[in-house]
Amino acid sequence: MSQAHARTDRSPAWRQLLSRYGLWLVFAALLAIASLLSDRFLTVPNFLNIARQTSVNALLAFGMTAVILKGGIDLSVGSILAVVGVIAVFLDQAGVPFVGTVLLSLAAGGLIGSLNGVMVAYGKIAPFIVTLAALTIWRGVTLVLTDGSPLSKLSPAFQAFGNVSPLGVPSPVWLALSALLATWFLLRRTGWGRGIYALGSSEDAARFAGLPVDRLKVSVYAFSGLMSALAALLLTSRLNSAQPTAGSGFELDAIAAVVVGGTSLAGGRGGVIGTLLGALIIGVLNNAMNLLDVNAFYQQIVKGLVIVGALLFERFLSSRSA
Amino acid sequence: MTALYEVSPPTQPTSSHPPVLHMTDIVKRFGPVEVLHGVHLEVRAGEVHALLGENGAGKSTLMKILAGVQPATSGELRLGGEAVRFRSVADAARHGVRMLFQELSLAPDLSAEENLYLGDMSPLISDRELRDQAAAHLHSLGLDLPLGVPVRTLSVGERQMLAIARALVGEPRVLVFDEPTAPLTAPEIEKLFEFIAQIRGRGVAVVYISHHLGEVFRIADRVTVLRDGRNIATSDVASTTQQQIIEWMVGRHVEVQSRVQPVSGDPVWQIEARPTGASPLHLELRAGEVIGLVGIVGSGRGAALRSLVGIGGESLWNGQPVLSLEDALRRGIGILPEDRKAEGAVLDGTIRENIALSSLPAVSRAGVVQSGPERQLVQQWIEQLHIRPAQPEYLTGALSGGNQQKVVLGRVLAAQPKVLILEEPTRGVDIGAREEIYEVIAGLAAAGLPIILSSGDAQEVLGLATRILVFRGGEVVSELHAPVTLEEVIAHVTGARTH
Ligand SMILES: Nc1ncnc2c1ncn2[C@@H]1O[C@H](COP(=O)(O)OP(=O)(O)OP(=O)(O)O)[C@@H](O)[C@H]1O
Ligand SMILES: [Mg+2]
């Protein structure tokens, strides 16, 4: 249904969540297969584990969703994650209180992201190129700063950050859920979000509507940088160190989560709720294959096939209901 | 008014030709919404068959089924007596059915020659051969279009002529024109009519969709009128009248009238437009004044207008610089752009999102859109402009062309501009809706809003403008004051008269 397409994209979060039933089916099928194949899969600790592992990718993917909706792409999220991790550990080791470390790291992530945005908006360079360059630049900066070896020894507060479980739920899950709500709210309830969708659908139309197109572009990459910084704090705390190679290749999982979640790479259509499902599907898949001791080489092949399969399946369902 | 279905008398000239195309009982559903409820259409070889109806009547939908864009939900399609079902546009083209789509469908980054043979290009053709072939084809049509540059750089009118030339590649049996004249100027329209007369003479069946009845009476042999996805009438053009057709289309009587209102008082806007590479233009606007800009494509009309909002130049509004669209909108200058698909509507967005898009600060608190005020604003403009369907959550891309135009106009007006620039405001809008839009424009002017109206449709300018600026060769060559006649305006536009 073409009208339903508009509706499902714009309706309340819970209704959007239900409307992606094709993806839910894929997700359920994955759960069923995994629990048949491994008796360690269907356990509470393992589920908490999946949630924890998924949260870093989910954070990156939420930022990525905004960028892709705007009609762009951000390949630099993994490198921004790494460099912000290093900055955070530097701050921590310099004795900055943890709250300060968090705020400054988020600011750093936002700033680095906005540099991408400036190049895209004012330098008029394609987002793919800008963020590809940023990917290698910030990875390089990370390697220079760390001299290629991990930075460890975190303050107790930093160590606790990603490893506590308030109310029995791991802190990464709390973080990812808050980020989900915040992103959903920003995209669906604010003028900023309206601008992002309009821009992704037609840049000219957005300009004729009088939207501050260039500033919107800068802000969306800044938002993605901010999400990368949040992921950096989480991952650094979980690993108890800043790794020079942290986050490498993460951009691909983030993009995969967005695309599996039904957001159009052409921009303008989709949303962050689908991205959550996409990230969960990828998370469960990774977890199940690890439990089943699938050879790491085969894991990649299976993952690629599942991504394509999920997309085909959903397309099939939506074309039949049209 | 009840629907009537007339069968044309079999004594007219074209009826001697055999019908090539039969569409029978065509039903089309989009999801739960049925748009065509069993439509019939029969087109003969060598006739120009006008397909008429209001915005949303289903004209484009029916023709897209014919051209292989989308399948019918049910119904039968016969071509030369043989039942066919087209799976794609290419499939339809192979059977000799070609369509010029309502919305320009060229690849903007390819050149004219690549666009001409897109889809039927042999893979081994060299650039040289392609260009020669294209040049020959364009020459045979008497067209002079730049080759070797991206068509993005061509004017809207030139692009449309290119799209027409593309539909004429090969030897089509059925040719569909969906509102071909909307972006064209008078001389280009004459050229198009020549082509149509030629291909009609070669026995091609032509379906012609337009909202301009004058055109229909000039070139069409028969006419079929649809309303709300149903046949209302089919008749020979010679045995009907404009008034009759309008009543078939609208289902009621429509009065066409002039709405020029006298204005007085001092100018409220002193405007200095400086289009890059053209002569500057000084404009004075009084409250409630409608200034009309007329002139053919290339006359400088479009460039001057766009420099007013900082595109391809800059302007001063009461001494304040406007260097970009953002500046313009901030200063309360609202513009309705001519290319609604690319510049006007956010096609992926709903009606609500489009109408509210330029008024977001007004309906937001601390950056958060307040759904109550938003819905109220949107509802108001849906009603005022009679947007159909009147559903705020309807996807704008799924609306008929005319309704998309109303949505964009709604967005511009919802922002309560202090001055309004209208660029082809009724392109693709049906007669009833056009009168409604004129009514809205006249109402805004009566309430004191100054309006700049640029249009290729001289009649439209004549019906609204108190003052008309005529562009030719990159500058304003004359200024006409109401009342003037259509003949006078056209004489000035074409250069037949200079004072
Ligand atoms: N893809 C679609 N999904 C849903 N509804 C559609 C779709 N395409 C067209 N419609 C609806 O079908 C109806 C007929 O539209 P169509 O474009 O055929 O009208 P039209 O007669 O060509 O009007 P216009 O003169 O404005 O071009 C409209 O109500 C429109 O909203
Ligand atoms: Mg149409």
Cβ-based contacts of B337 with chain A (< 8 Å): 204, 208
| Whole-angstrom distance, CA of residue B175 vs CA of residue B98 | 5
- Say if B149 falls within a structural domain: no
Average pLDDT over residues A254-274: 92
Average pLDDT for chain A: 91
B227 and B270, same structural domain?
A: no
- Token pair 């709250």 is found at A99
| Whole-angstrom distance, CA of residue B308 vs CA of residue B302 | 10
Can you give the residue ranges of every domain in chain A? Answer: 42-313
B318 and B269, same structural domain?
A: yes
pLDDT, tens digit, 9 for 90 and up, residues A53-110: 899 999 999 999 999 999 999 999 999 999 999 999 999 999 999 999 999 999 999 9
Ligand 1 touching residue B34 (CB < 6 A): no
Q: Are A210 and B358 within 8 A, CB to CB?
A: yes
Q: Are B345 and A205 within 8 A, CB to CB?
A: yes
In which band, very low, low, confident or very high, does the pLDDT at B246 lie, cut at 50, 70 and 90?
confident
B189 and B90, same structural domain?
A: yes
Last residue of a domain, one of B393, B414, B435: B414
A126 CB within 8 Å of a chain B CB: no
User: Bridge-partner residues for A181, per DSSP?
Assistant: none
SS3 B111: strand
B295 and B245, same structural domain?
A: no
Average pLDDT over residues B391-407: 91
Neighbours of B79 (CB within 10 A): 20
B195 and B56, same structural domain?
A: yes
B396 and B424, same structural domain?
A: no
Alpha carbon separation from A242 to A76, A145, A210, B461 (Å, rounded): 17, 11, 43, 68
Tell me the CATH number at B488: 3.40.50.300
Neighbours of A229 (CB within 10 A): 30
For residue B195, pLDDT over 90 is answered with no
pLDDT, tens digit, 9 for 90 and up, residues B356-389: 999 999 999 999 999 999 999 999 999 998 898 9
Element (H, E) at B19: strand B19-30
- Say if B142 falls within a structural domain: no
- Say if B449 falls within a structural domain: yes
Residue B320 belongs to what domain range?
253-332+417-499
- Say if B120 falls within a structural domain: no
Decide: B162 and B106 in contact? Cβ < 8 Å. Answer: yes
| Whole-angstrom distance, CA of residue A121 vs CA of residue A42 | 47
Structure confidence at residue B498 (pLDDT): 61
- Minimum distance, in Å, between the CA of residue B321 and any CA atom of chain A: 16
Which range among B9-13, B137-141, B187-191, B464-468 shows the weakest confidence by mean pLDDT?
B9-13
Choosing from B399, B407, B408 the residue with most ligand 1 atoms within 8 A of its CB, the one to mutate for a pocket test is B399
CA atoms within 13 A on the CB side of A294: 17
B270 and B216, same structural domain?
A: no
Structure confidence at residue A1 (pLDDT): 33
* Paired tokens of A208: 């004729």
**Measured over all CA atoms, what is the biggest interatomic distance in chain A, rounded to whole angstroms?**
60
CA of A41 to the centre of ligand 1 (A): 51
Ligand 1 touching residue B56 (CB < 6 A): yes
Element (H, E) at B302: helix B301-307
Average pLDDT over residues A258-282: 92
B175 and B75, same structural domain?
A: yes
Return the percentage of chain A with pLDDT > 90, whole number: 77
B229 and B82, same structural domain?
A: yes
Element (H, E) at B206: strand B205-209
Ligand 1 touching residue B178 (CB < 6 A): no
Last residue of a domain, one of B366, B390, B414: B414
Residue nearest to atom 24 of ligand 1 (CA): B55
Decide: A100 and A87 in contact? Cβ < 8 Å. Answer: no
Q: Is residue A89 classed exposed, middle or buried when 0-12, 13-18 and 19+ CB atoms within 10 A define those classes? A: buried
In which band, very low, low, confident or very high, does the pLDDT at A13 lie, cut at 50, 70 and 90?
low
| Whole-angstrom distance, CA of residue A225 vs CA of residue A218 | 11
Return the percentage of chain B with pLDDT > 70, whole number: 94
pLDDT, tens digit, 9 for 90 and up, residues A223-232: 999 999 999 9
Out of B31, B335, B348, closest to residue A4 by CB: B31
| Whole-angstrom distance, CA of residue B198 vs CA of residue B201 | 5
Q: Which residues of B336-362 are buried (b: 16+ CB within 10 A; e: fewer)?
A: bbbbbbbbbbbbbbbbbbbbbbbbbee
CATH of A42-313, one of 3.20.170, 1.10.3470, 1.10.760, 1.10.287: 1.10.3470
Decide: A146 and A93 in contact? Cβ < 8 Å. Answer: no
Count of domains for chain B:
3
Q: At what angle do helices A77-93 and A44-69 cross, to 10 degrees?
A: 110
Last residue of a domain, one of B414, B434, B456: B414
Structure confidence at residue A285 (pLDDT): 92
Cβ-based contacts of B389 with chain A (< 8 Å): none
Decide: A27 and A280 in contact? Cβ < 8 Å. Answer: yes
| Whole-angstrom distance, CA of residue B258 vs CA of residue B277 | 36
* Paired tokens of B28: 């089309």
pLDDT, tens digit, 9 for 90 and up, residues A192-201: 999 999 999 9
Spatial CB neighbours of B112, under 8 Å, sequence gap ≥ 6 = B134, B138, B145, B146, B147, B148, B149, B151, B154, B162
- Say if B498 falls within a structural domain: yes
Average pLDDT over residues A233-251: 96
Q: Which stretches of chain A are DSSP H helices?
A: 2-10, 13-19, 21-37, 44-69, 77-93, 98-121, 127-146, 156-161, 171-189, 191-201, 203-208, 213-239, 250-260, 272-291, 296-320
B361 and B322, same structural domain?
A: no
Structure confidence at residue B188 (pLDDT): 82
B429 and B498, same structural domain?
A: yes
Structure confidence at residue B125 (pLDDT): 75
Average pLDDT for chain B: 88
B422 and B410, same structural domain?
A: no
For residue A5, pLDDT over 50 is answered with no
